Structure formats: C-alpha cells, structure tokens
Amino acid sequence: MKTPISYFVVLSAVLFAIGSVGVLVRKNALVIFMSVELQLNAVNLALVAFSRLHGNLNGQVLAFFSMVVAAAEVVVGLAIIVNVYRRMHTANVDDASLLRW
Amino acid sequence: MLAQFLIHPPIQLGPIGPELVLTGTAIVVLLGAAFNPRIGHSTLLLVSLLGLAGAALVSIGLWDWGGELTVLAGMVATDRFAVVARLILLGIAAMGLVYGYHYFRRSGEARAEFYPLVLFATAGMTLIAAAADLILVFLALEILSLSLYVLTGISARLSSVEGSMKYFLLGAFSSAFFLYGVAMAYGATGSTRLSAIAHALAGQTGSLGLALAAVAFLGIGFGFKVAAVPFHMWTPDVYQGAPTPVTAFMAAGTKVAAFAALIRVLETSFQPLTLDWTPLVWTIAAVTVVAGSLIAIAQTDIKRMLAYSSIAHAGFVLIALTAAGQDGISAALFYLLAYALMVLGAFGVVMLVSARGEGRTSLASYAGLYRRSRLLAGLLTLFLLSLAGIPPTAGFIAKVNVFRAAVAAGHWPLVLVGVLASVVAAFFYIRVMVLMYMQEPQDDAEPDRSPWPRVAVAVPAVLTLLFGVFPGIVLGVLDKAAILRW
C-alpha cells in the first residue's frame, strides 16, 4: 500500500512549525541557526512530495537548489556567528544588545 | 539515438548580459586583489565602476529586445521593467562604491573585499528584477542577501558585528518562509514558472488553498526584505550597525530589488488572485506607514531615524501596489527611483558629518550644522524635504503619483491614512532642520571637508530637484516600462 502524498506534506508542515518555534524561543545563535536549517529541510520534503504528486521533476530540482543555498548560508552564517563569539565571548542573542532604541 | 534525449532549450545569454558583466567584473576584482595585495583601492574602484557602466550599457541595449518574452527556459524576463529596475540598481551600486571607497579609506578599515561583495550583491539585485521563475527569484534573493550579511559585518566595530548577526539570523528565517511559499506555489500549480502559475490559477486547475498559503508565505518573505511592518524588526539595528556606505547601498538597493520582484510576482503569477491579495497588501501598507512614521519620532540617532523613515516609505510603495496595473507599477517605479535618490543622499550627508567612522550619528551632533558647513546642511535639508514629500522635490511628485493611482483604484481610505502619516513624518524631518539651523553647535567637531565625496552627494541632490521640477523626463520612460510582459 502506498503512503498518501498528504502525509508527507503534513509532516513537512509540522517540521516547519517546529523550526519556526525554535527560532522564536531559543536564545543561542547556533541553535536558532539549526532551527532555520530544519525549516529549510522541511521545505525540501514538501518539494519532493509535491514533485511526486505532479509527476514532474521541478520540485526535486528546486530541492537541490535549496540544498546548495543552505550550504552557502552555513558558510556565511557560521563565519558571522564565530566572529560574534570572538568579539563578545557569547553566542547568546540576548547579550547582543548594543543596538537598541 | 542519444540525440533525441538531449533536446535542450536554446540558450540565449543576451538578457542576462548585465549579470554576466557584473559577476565577471566582481571575479576579476576579487582575484586581482587576492593575487596582488598591494593593488591600489582606486584601481579596484575604477574597475568596479567600469563593470557597472558596462552592465548599464548592456541593459540599455535590452530596451528594444525583439526576441522571446522569457529566455533560458522561462527563467529570465526580457521586458522593459527589468531594464529600468536594473538601471536604477546599477546607479545605486555606483554611489555605494564611491561612498565606500572614501569612507573606508578615512576610517582606516579599507578592505578589498568590499568592491566584489557590492558587485555580487548588485548582480543578485538586478537578476531578481528580471526573474520570471520562482526558483530564480529565490536564488537571486539569496545572492544579494548573503553578500549583504557580510557587508554589514565588514567593519570591526562591535555594533557592525552585532548588526550582521541579527541581519543574518532574521534574513535566513525569512528566506525559509519564502522558500516554503515557493513550495506551496509549486504544490498548487505544478510549476514554479510565473506564467505557468498564472495560467493554472486562472484556469482554476490549481489548488486554491495552497495558492493562498503561497501568497501568504511569499508575502512574509518579501515583507522582511522590503522592511514592512510587522517584519521590520531587523531594519533599525542593521541600518545603524552597518558602516554608513553599506547602509546607503542596502537601504536603497534591497528595497528597489525586492519591490521589483514583489511587483512581478504579484502582478503576473498571482494576478488571477488580485482580489485575494489586495486586502492583505492594503492592511500591511496602512500599518507600515503609520508605525514607521510614529516610531521614527522617538529616535535619537539619525541612522535609526532614517531606518524607520525607510520603513514608512516601504508602506507608500505598498500603497501603489494596491492599485494594480500599469498606473500602480509606474507610480511604484517612480517612487522607488525618488526614494533611492533621497536615501542615498541622506546617508551620504550622514557619512560626511560623521567625518571618520560612526562617531557622530546622534541627532545632537546635528545641532548647529549650518554654522559648521552650509553645504552639508543645505543638502541634508533638500533630502529631508524630499523624504517628507514637500515640493519642489522628487519625493513630492512620487507621493502624488502613488496617491493618485491608489485613489483611481478606489482605495481612498488608504490614501487618507498615507496623507496623515506623511504629516506625522514631516514632524521629525523638520525637527532635524530646526536642530541644524536654529541651535548652537554643542562641540566644534569638523565635518569631512574632502571635495570629491561632496560632489558625489550632490549628484542625488541635483537629480532629486530635477525630477521634482521636471518629472516628465522620466515619467514617460517609466510608463513604457510599467508593462510586464510574460
């Protein structure tokens, strides 16, 4: 018996929601960044599921693109977070409060 | 036998010529600086500016493109809208490079990476203006964002480092929403091509629920990039933390690029759902102009004040978007052009008043600026008048056009909100003028007196006045460019 496509879409929505909540409630920049990665992977799951639904490969191609972009984002993002850690000796986003109105 | 499996679409590189020139120049500058660390920064600046000029020439050559509406398998649009958006963006990049050259030389933080990063960001911005497929919109958005995250943190100051982290975390968060929107649009219609999405939605073959979710998620993604309330939280921190030339470049460039893409996506692929997304844009526009104008009053730092003012201006462009069709697009394009000029000019003056680095960006350091430098005080007055929308400046014509288009589309309550918000906004612009002309200087710090940066800041000033007095010279071109072909 085949698993219905909708299961995958719902799973991806759940993963995306977990990632969003992670970004909003966690304080460590690295954990926030991991939550963003979870969101991107949730999107990849949705893309592959939709690709199967429509019977064309556009979604799978886009999933590859999004993996490449995620990798590029890791490169830039980790460099920025390491830079912050070196200067402020913390990766906690609440301690980075120089810029406030 | 094999040949029949290898049917590929014809490859026409002409319509992405500007991006090829930009990335080519960026790579040349990057390698030149890497292999010859002693190379003078004036050489890097000159090569970068030549690259921008070349890209502009190629763009102008695309004005009379007679070929297909989209090339490279429907990825890139070839219409005049893309040409005009590219030219505006290339001008912004040229100003950003000139400012940056001067600023980093004075602050002693001159780094060769600045030039290629600006060029890469510009390539992303111009590409997004021409993107006719959601995959390309996403990729171009990431090209420009990743370059800007690094540019924000290019200075060693602590606030610059902190600003880059905030920008990166919130930017990546918004990109995830954007990509989820792309996935929803693909799920609803089976394609990521803007024209195919429009056909599927018009023929009601797609899933309406997924399509509406796609509009919402894409709206969140774009809302972050154009800094619309409630997705604006990063803007003041990043604008204040980033080095001033970078702030000028990204305040003008990101907004023009993201709005160009937003206009194309809303007016082509989701055009069949106009009745559904107009109330959404209407609400965000109203909240954005009001919140941006009100919070700006409470600011004590001029860069933060200009950041909130840029949020309010995003709201005015959104008002133009509620008037769908050629009128709205033309009004939005003129508004973006005027906004780019005045924000580049205003941040240019801020850079010169600070003299070295970011030491003097509080509003208090503008007290008595007229006594210390009449030219800078006069230029800033002009830009503030334009931001407030007072004649005879481009900002006035831009606001009138936007309001006229929105009223013609029947959105007069929104125009009323916009007019009231402009009155509130006029207060904090005029407060800076009062500080400059009517108060005594609090210290005797000298503003930057170098001649060339002043000439650079005078360019947007002249254009602001010119487009304010004779708007006809660009309005004709913009009207021709306001038809999206797909």
**B151: which DSSP letter?**
H
Say which of A40, A53, A73 has its CB closest to residue B146.
A73
Q: How far does B345 lie from chain A, in Å, by closest CA?
A: 24
Tell me the helix, strand and coil percentages in chain B, rounded to 5.
75, 0, 20
| Chain A residues closer than 8 Å to B224 by CB | none
pLDDT, mean of residues B48-77: 91
Asked if the C-beta of B171 comes within 8 angstroms of chain A's C-beta atoms, the answer is no
Q: What are the structure tokens assigned to B483, written together? A: 């038809």
Whether the predicted pLDDT of B444 surpasses 90:
no
pLDDT, mean of residues A55-74: 93
**B31: which DSSP letter?**
H
Whether the predicted pLDDT of B1 surpasses 60:
no
| % residues pLDDT > 70 (chain B) | 98
Asked if the C-beta of B305 comes within 8 angstroms of chain A's C-beta atoms, the answer is no
pLDDT category, B445, cuts 50, 70, 90?
A: confident
Task: Note the pLDDT tens digit of each residue in B220-236.
Answer: 999 999 999 899 999 99
CB contact under 8 A, B164 and A46: no
What is the amino acid identity at position B242? A
Say which of B169, B183, B236 has its CB closest to residue A32.
B169
CB contact under 8 A, B146 and A40: no
Alpha carbon distance A50, B22 (integer Å): 35
CB contact under 8 A, B298 and A59: no
Q: Could you tell me which of B215, B216, B239 has the C-alpha nearest to residue B227?
A: B239
Alpha carbon distance B426, B482 (integer Å): 30
Query: For the CA atoms of B266, B270, B274, B279, what is the dihedral angle to 10 degrees?
Result: -60
Residues B182 and B192 sit within 8 Å (Cβ to Cβ): yes
pLDDT, mean of residues B432-447: 85
Which residue is associated with the tokens 């774009």? B222
How many inter-chain contacts (A to B, CB under 8 Å) are there?
A: 125
**B265: which DSSP letter?**
I
Say which of A62, A77, A99 has its CB closest to residue B182.
A62
Task: Note the pLDDT tens digit of each residue in B318-371.
Answer: 999 998 788 999 999 999 999 999 999 999 999 999 877 787 888 888 988 898
* Amino acid B8: pLDDT: 67
* Amino acid A101: pLDDT: 46
| % residues pLDDT > 90 (chain B) | 77
Domains and CATH numbers, chain A: 5-88 (1.10.287.3510)
CB contact under 8 A, B176 and A62: no
The three-state secondary structure class of B456 is helix
Residues in chain B: 486
Q: How far does A45 lie from chain B, in Å, by closest CA?
A: 10
Give the HSE-up count for residue B185: Cα atoms under 13 Å, Cβ half-sphere. 32
Mean pLDDT of chain B: 92
| Chain A residues closer than 8 Å to B187 by CB | 9, 46, 49-50, 53-54
Cross-strand pairs, B76: B71, B131
pLDDT category, B416, cuts 50, 70, 90?
A: very high
Asked if the C-beta of B164 comes within 8 angstroms of chain A's C-beta atoms, the answer is yes
Strand pairing report for B70-71 and B76-77: antiparallel
Collect all residues from A whose CB is shorter than 8 A from any CB in B. 9, 12, 16, 19-20, 23, 29, 32-33, 36, 39-40, 42-43, 46-47, 49-50, 53-54, 56, 58-59, 61-62, 65-66, 69, 72-73, 76-77, 79-81, 83-84, 87-88, 93, 96, 98-99, 101
pLDDT category, B407, cuts 50, 70, 90?
A: very high
Residues B126 and B85 sit within 8 Å (Cβ to Cβ): yes
Whether the predicted pLDDT of B443 surpasses 80:
no
The ipTM of this complex is 0.95
- Distance between the two ends of chain A, CA-based, in angstroms? 58
Which residue is associated with the tokens 């600003």? B163
CB contact under 8 A, A42 and B241: no
Full DSSP string of A46-62: HHHHHHHHHTSSHHHHH
Task: Note the pLDDT tens digit of each residue in B234-274.
Answer: 999 999 999 999 999 999 999 999 999 999 999 999 999 98
Whether the predicted pLDDT of A96 surpasses 80:
no
Alpha carbon distance B154, B241 (integer Å): 11
Q: Could you tell me which of A39, A45, A9, A64 has the C-alpha nearest to residue B207?
A: A9
Task: Note the pLDDT tens digit of each residue in B306-324.
Answer: 999 999 999 999 999 998 7
Q: Could you tell me which of A95, A90, A9, A78 has the C-alpha nearest to residue A37?
A: A78
* Amino acid B14: pLDDT: 87
Task: Note the pLDDT tens digit of each residue in B110-155.
Answer: 889 999 999 999 999 999 999 999 999 999 999 999 999 999 999 9
Contacts of B33 (CB under 8 A, 6+ apart): B39, B44, B112, B113, B115, B116
Q: Could you tell me which of B328, B320, B298 has the C-alpha nearest to residue B428?
A: B298
* Amino acid B6: pLDDT: 64
What is the amino acid identity at position B129? A
Asked if the C-beta of B361 comes within 8 angstroms of chain A's C-beta atoms, the answer is no
Asked if the C-beta of B172 comes within 8 angstroms of chain A's C-beta atoms, the answer is yes
Alpha carbon distance B245, B239 (integer Å): 10
